[in-house]
Structure 1
Amino acid sequence: MVKNQRKKINRKKEGESRMRNFLIRAFVLLVLIFLCVDGFCADWWNKDWRYRRSVKVGKRGRQTDWVAVRFFLLTEVKPDGADIRVTDNTGAEVPFYVVWAEPFGFAEVMFKTKKKVDEYFIYYGNPNATKKEQTESPDVGLIMETRERPRGTSNSWEEFKKLLEKSKRVYGRTLVPKIFQGHNPFGPSDYYITVYKGFLAAPQDGEYRIATNSDDSSFVFIDGKLVVSWPGPHGPTAVWGERNAKIELKKGIHTIEYYHEDSEGSQACELGWWKPGDEQVSLVPDWAFPSPGKASVGLLQTQNSQLQVDVDVSLSSELATDDGALLIEGQFKAYGESKNGRIVYKWDFGDGVTSQEQSLTHIFCAPGFYTVTVEVSDGKEGFVAKIQHYIGYIFFYDEPPDKQSRYANIIRTYPFDRLSTVALKNIASFSDLAEDDALRLRALEELIKRKDLTQPRETLTFLRDAGKLFCTVRRDFENATAAFKKIEELTKEPWWISQAKVGYADCLLYLKKDLDSANKVYEEVYEQFKTLSPGYAKLAQIRLGDVMRLKGEYEKAKEAYRIAKEMTTSVYKTTEQMRRGVFILNTSNYIERNLHQKALKEIENWEWQLPADKLDTEYSLIRARALYGLKRYEDAALELEGFIKVNEAKDCSKKASCYPETLYALAVVYHKMNKSDEAKTLLERLIAQHPEAKEVFKKAKELLDSIR
């Protein structure tokens, strides 16, 4: 009995022991499986190499064992990629070719795969490594290289070769699908050389005609023979295929080299052909350039670290202004994996802007070379990933309707005091295009503090524009007048002094509503600068009319506008009535399209040519609509008040036909400004005095009912 009980106890203990051992082995297996994700458990090939990335082969190329990968290095690498090595999953090295590798830039590597082996590793980060001589070279791939173009001519292939020899700086290299390019993706798109080298597949035996089209010189070699030569400075041909030559080719693979250089202006290069039997030229397609297979790259692994990281960067759009400013939009995302804890990110875009988001959209406000860093940390370990990249034209032609507002919303969050002067200038230019006066004023406000403005006229321009916006946007009399006074301190040029004085008087008129003081300054400008700065003397004379208009003195305003009009020396080929009609049509069209700044610029031309239209035409009504669209309600109210006051003057023989509509418009503006009593008074007056204006009468009653 006792023996049987002991046997049962022993069997139970043995069962528990087996179960415990099973659970331990299962746990260890699960840990190993977890650690082996993304190749992390594979033995480190060589301890002298600090970094590696796993590579999974996807689609192999046609009739080739070579595949290509491109990735950001995120850290140091020897400038020529001498420390790069490629191994399979057993640690055996495989043949490879470094297309490009630059410290903190991107790397592009081709390597030869083995049959039925899909996992490989790329190692780098050994400062003592020397370049490994390869026994095999890729049999596929078209590589494009761009480099700096030195000064000199290229009126022949011999001269072009001398340019190549003198060129010291290589901007970058990459695999491309075909010979077709319109800019330099690695650097400035002026004064650069492009070199394509690779393989061309002729689909059949026969006579081919090879064509080049370029701006400027281009030369085509096939199997080492110069086939097409188009030297010298020139633009692209108007007839595609005009520059061509014949060559006999056998079916199969041939080597091809294409050389192109651009000095300045537009850029273009493309390769075309007529295959045997073709009736017209066509761009040599992707399939004619044998390409390597594709593979995906895993996160960056650091030896003896649990933290794995990566960064994705793609430039998604660009925006150019009329005066040459360029802004570039990019999408950025950082990745981190670790068992240690939650991952946090800290970005620095190298332009004064920082962020702690994992992924975000960033606007570079000027082209150039940038170093973008992101610190990835898991609480125990950290890694600072760096990317050095040229940000410039990407020729992205998509123009979504919200593009300008999207850019503005992002830029508005930037610390302007940490941005470069060039970036601030571009923001000011962009803001003008986007009709964002508040954003433009922020840029100008910072620019006028900068000490690195080398052009005096530039400083004066920024002060003038800032003064105007302080007055109209922020309604800041003190800063506006300070900007105009600063102009008078910095220069004695009549053209600038007259602008500053008119700007100061505008502040008195529109902000302080000090009509007499403003009138005095306008008179001084008119008398002092009639010959020295006639344009601003005329503007001062127009403003004298505006003062009289606000005072309700019709005849004096009319006389002031007449004098201003006669100061114009331009001869117009159309009648006043026709010009007035064009102004009304253009400004109304701009307002309907919400282009209120453009409407105001057109209204300035209207004011300049036909100043007396301020008395009895739709001028004030249209200008008020543009100001209302920009949310400049006080300026809109002042414009309408002046029109109403002068039309009610004793010496005004007849009110303008748009007078009732102007009363209604002013009531709308007052209502928007929360001046309900003033709005009601105007509406009641309109209803009582102008029942003949049926449409306006109806709208006035509806608005009055809503206010009550």
Structure 2
Amino acid sequence: MPWHDEQAAYRAVVAVASKSDAKVDVAAVRIRHCGLVRADGHDYRIFDQAGTATPYEITHHDPDRDTLISLRCDDPSMRFVVYFGRSSSDVDPMRATRSGKVGEGPPRPGPGAGGWIPRTGLVLTTLRRPVEADNPRTPEALQAMIDAATPDGAAYRSAVSDSYNPFGDSDYFISIYRGWLRIAKDGRYGFCTASNEASFSFLDGKELVHWPGRHTEQRGKHGQKSRDHELRAGLHYVEYYHEEVLLYQVAFLGWRPPGADHFQGIDSTVFPQPHRAQVTQYEKRDAGRIPMIRAELLDSAWPLKRSRGQYTRFRFTTDGGDGAPWTQVAWSFGDGQTAVGAEAEHVYLRVGAYEVKMTATAAVGGAIERRWPLIVYPVEHLDGPYRDADAKSYREAIEAFDPGALDTQDLAELIRFHDETGDAERAAALAQALLDRADAGAAELAEAHWIAASGTERRGEHLRAALKLEPDAARRMEIAARLIALTGTEGGDLAAAEAVFDEVVVSMRGATSTDRLRVAMRGAIIAIGEARLGSLQREKALEAFHLAESLAEPPVPLAVRHARIGSYHETVAARFKDGRIDDAAAVIERWRTQFPADQLRGEVHFWRGRIQLARGAARDAARSLGLAAELAEGSELEAHARFLLAQAYGDAGDEARSRQALEALIATGLAGEYRERAMKLLAGQREGAP
């Protein structure tokens, strides 16, 4: 096809991919120009395959990414060529234009377009509204807000209705619908708006129905905010503007056509749709085919252990048709990570702004570089284009990351990801690397020490460092609880555990309490109670446990307490018998933390030991079962605990202690199955001795 516009550096070859159900003379196409156009879009020119200049309207223009164009298309089988990349240019006389003023009505035809404008299609555009701006009470105030806004994105739609932003953050944004609706017959039509925050609407440049200022949608959801209009049959140009601040949002334009007794949604057939066209290839003058970037949000996942943060997966492809001549495509995702291939998926660890770079190498002509400004925004609604993913499904992609190329904040998120998805060893190793970063803040260093403590023998050192650095009171309490458990319960140094408790927990009494701080303090009190119990200081342990239970919200009545403890016993036993070890462990954790005073009976530690033994943690099991045996002295539970204690020592390779545990069981004089089995085992050991 000849190059029709010698002043243009680039062009896109366009063909209709999907015909409209309506009889229309408009095709809509998205041009991904990657910033190769003028900021004002004046350099666009369009020709059909015969070389005839084609009229059009730019319905959305982002100077860094893409442009939506509605062009005249009398024959859907015809191809078109969209030219761009002029160094200087006036507005094309074939281009229909708008001033951008709120409520101005339909676009004006270009002087060379013979009066043609695209009377088909409804386009939704969303913008970032200024955070500090008040909810507009007039169209003029809305105009000022739009003038200060920046684009999120745009697409063709079949109704004026949304409950989220499909192109960006659903907080602090503006929705703008502009396009055409077809009135079937003359008559009186009612139109209503339901919006969360201000909305303004116009028909053919005149007020349709406004609902200004700050409000929810509740007082308009049944058509209370409405106006009637006498309309003639035919096409009418509709504009609907809505602005949103925070939380739940709604934008909706409904109607009551002649003969209807209530308001309803406007059927999609009322909004005639254009033919949908697509670019088959991009070209550069005198250089042949070139690639552009296509970015697609696939899904996102929220962290498993935190209420903040987001992991987001995108797919990047070279937009330019099949059979492209480039032999290699390399990607740089703007966060230090890279990939190779015509198509690449990448998971972003944080929301924020990134610049994606694609470098395509051709057999002839060298390398071509393209850039795409990408906004990874918070996803708050799992609807429409937004899909939820399991964070663990991102593991394979994230394991390929180069941690050294990440900035410190991304590295901190990478550590959290591995910690939350079960790879504690990898998380601890990366946490150690973050500790060497000079630009890490106190909170990041504290968290790195916390996570590093799970993968090294220097656990106490890391936890003490975290305790010193952590600025958040509730988080300090959580660190203290873990350090108390490490030194007192696992290490047997009750004095050191008491010192931590006095330093952190006792000093916080009287401080301003929050739900989060109260929960964390309760955990630390349970930890010191367990450390005391491990040293068999039953009365002091019970004192701590009673204090912890008194902090529970809401308080648990005594009868309910007894019933729940009984159900915990039955549930743990049943799940353990069925081999559902993780489920049994979860029940034990609830039992231990909800009713810590019940630990003095020994049953919690008995089941904890059995679960640890089943998981292969023999030394941890020995500690739990040994304590259970002491607490359940004189009962059948003591006999069972001592028998399993011998097994735990044996699994740990400590045959001497295993034998001592069996001898201690026999010495208790507790009659029953486990004493008999212990005697047989010892007898067998004597017979086998040299």
Shorter-chain TM-score category?
A: 0.7 to 0.9
CA, structure 1 residues 411+221, in 2 after alignment: closer, same or farther (shift >3 Å)? same
1:189-588 to 2 correspondences below 5 Å: 189-237=170-218, 239-321=221-303, 323-334=307-318, 343-380=327-364, 381-393=366-378, 395-397=381-383, 403-424=390-411, 434=421, 437-438=424-425, 441=428, 444-445=431-432, 448-450=435-437, 456=442, 458-459=443-444, 463=446, 465-472=447-454, 474=455, 476-478=456-458, 480-487=459-466, 490=469, 503-504=482-483, 506-508=485-487, 514-515=491-492, 518-526=493-501, 531-533=506-508, 535=521, 538-539=525-526, 541-545=528-532, 547-548=534-535, 556-568=536-548, 569-570=550-551, 572-575=555-558, 576-581=561-566
Which residue number corresponds to residue 74 of structure 1? Answer: 34
| Deviation of 1:558 (Å) | 2.8
1:51-200 to 2 correspondences below 5 Å: 51-61=10-20, 62-115=22-75, 118-133=78-93, 134=95, 135=110, 136-150=116-130, 151-154=132-135, 156-158=137-139, 160-161=141-142, 163-164=144-145, 167-200=148-181
TM-score (norm 2): 0.77
Mapped to 1, the partners of 2:246 and 2:581 lie a distance apart of 34
CA, structure 1 residues 528+191, in 2 after alignment: closer, same or farther (shift >3 Å)? closer
Mapped to 2, the partners of 1:492 and 1:105 lie a distance apart of 41
CA, structure 1 residues 337+316, in 2 after alignment: closer, same or farther (shift >3 Å)? closer
CA, structure 1 residues 602+257, in 2 after alignment: closer, same or farther (shift >3 Å)? farther
SS in structure 2 at match of 1:63: coil
CA, structure 1 residues 600+105, in 2 after alignment: closer, same or farther (shift >3 Å)? same
| Deviation of 1:372 (Å) | 1.3
Q: Which amino acid aligns with 2:462?
A: A
Which residue number corresponds to residue 98 of structure 2? Answer: none
| Deviation of 1:346 (Å) | 0.9
SS in structure 2 at match of 1:127: coil
| Deviation of 1:500 (Å) | 5.7
SS in structure 1 at match of 2:38: coil
Mapped to 2, the partners of 1:172 and 1:266 lie a distance apart of 20
**Residue by residue, what CA displacement relative to the aligned partner does 1:126-157 show, whole Å, maximum 9, x if unpaired?**
22233313333211121223233333434633
Q: Which amino acid aligns with 1:411?
A: I
The answer on 1:46 being equivalent to 2:26 is: no
Mapped to 2, the partners of 1:561 and 1:261 lie a distance apart of 58
| Deviation of 1:369 (Å) | 2.9
| Deviation of 1:237 (Å) | 2.0
| Deviation of 1:530 (Å) | 6.4
Note if contact 1:416-1:442 (Cα within 8 Å) is conserved in structure 2: no
CA, structure 1 residues 148+334, in 2 after alignment: closer, same or farther (shift >3 Å)? closer
| Deviation of 1:687 (Å) | 14
| Deviation of 1:349 (Å) | 1.0
CA, structure 1 residues 499+198, in 2 after alignment: closer, same or farther (shift >3 Å)? closer
* Residue range with higher mean Cα deviation, 494-503 or 570-579: 494-503
| Deviation of 1:664 (Å) | 6.1
SS in structure 2 at match of 1:411: helix
Mapped to 2, the partners of 1:525 and 1:166 lie a distance apart of 57
Mapped to 2, the partners of 1:190 and 1:223 lie a distance apart of 30
**Residue by residue, what CA displacement relative to the aligned partner does 1:432-465 show, whole Å, maximum 9, x if unpaired?**
76555456556655655555566x5x34xx52x4
Q: Which amino acid aligns with 1:484?
A: L
Mapped to 2, the partners of 1:286 and 1:650 lie a distance apart of 72
| Deviation of 1:193 (Å) | 2.0
Q: Which has the larger radius of gyration?
A: 1
Note if contact 1:561-1:612 (Cα within 8 Å) is conserved in structure 2: no
SS in structure 1 at match of 2:396: helix
* Residue range with higher mean Cα deviation, 646-655 or 81-90: 646-655
Mapped to 1, the partners of 2:75 and 2:473 lie a distance apart of 81
**Residue by residue, what CA displacement relative to the aligned partner does 1:261-283 show, whole Å, maximum 9, x if unpaired?**
11222222122222223344332
Q: Which amino acid aligns with 2:169?
A: P
| Deviation of 1:117 (Å) | 5.5
CA, structure 1 residues 286+643, in 2 after alignment: closer, same or farther (shift >3 Å)? same
Mapped to 1, the partners of 2:406 and 2:527 lie a distance apart of 37
Mapped to 1, the partners of 2:664 and 2:222 lie a distance apart of 68
Q: Which amino acid aligns with 1:193?
A: I
CA, structure 1 residues 529+684, in 2 after alignment: closer, same or farther (shift >3 Å)? closer
SS in structure 1 at match of 2:506: coil
Q: Which amino acid aligns with 2:589?
A: I
* Residue range with higher mean Cα deviation, 336-345 or 678-687: 678-687
Note if contact 1:147-1:192 (Cα within 8 Å) is conserved in structure 2: yes
**Residue by residue, what CA displacement relative to the aligned partner does 1:286-336 show, whole Å, maximum 9, x if unpaired?**
221122112221122222225543444321212235623222222223368
* Residue range with higher mean Cα deviation, 123-132 or 80-89: 123-132
Q: How many residues align?
A: 628
The answer on 1:652 being equivalent to 2:637 is: no
SS in structure 2 at match of 1:231: coil
CA, structure 1 residues 407+438, in 2 after alignment: closer, same or farther (shift >3 Å)? farther
**Residue by residue, what CA displacement relative to the aligned partner does 1:59-109 show, whole Å, maximum 9, x if unpaired?**
444232210111422352111222222112233321122223334412212
The alignment's C-alpha RMSD in Å is: 4.5
